[in-house]
Amino acid sequence: MANVTFYEKPGCKNNTKQKNLLMAAGHNLEAKSLLTEPWTAETLRPFFGELPVSLWFNKSAPRIKSGEVIPDNLTEEKALELMIADPLLIRRPLIQVEGVYRVGFDPEKIEAWIGLNPENPVTEDLETCPRSHQEKPCTTV
């Protein structure tokens, strides 16, 4: 059992499913809003580790889908600047367990890191937003 700090977009269906999986595996969760956390480059950067900048971003974010923000064209510094100004750009969830920081919810990686429930493997995509957002965008608070 791990003590997990879980940064989410409140109300996100996938984040709710992810939290439920972690709790079902016996982990203690402290959920925080990714949108209201007072991020700085120093507090946000550790979550991304050695991942390329393009994998730091939420591919479902409106500014990415519209082409306004193109993650492949950004430096680390510019990426962090944009994400701090607009947290919807940050790939979710951000997870911290003790001194280890991760971004995204890959069930196999979570299982290997802190454990999930191996009897009930996750078969659905829990990162890509299932909503189109064209008719009614998700709330941001």
- CA-to-CA distance for 55 and 1, rounded, in angstroms? 28
Number of residues that this document lists for the chain: 141
| The pLDDT of residue 120 is above 80 | no
Query: Tens digits of per-residue pLDDT, 23-72?
Result: 999 999 999 999 999 999 999 999 999 999 999 999 999 999 999 999 99
**Whole-prediction pTM:** 0.85
Instruction: Point out the catalytic residue in the list 4, 6, 12, 25.
Output: 12
- d(CA 76, CA 87) in angstroms, rounded, equals 15
38 vs 3: CA distance, rounded Å? 21
Q: Active site includes 138?
A: no
Please give the Cα distance from 17 to 124 (Å, whole number): 10
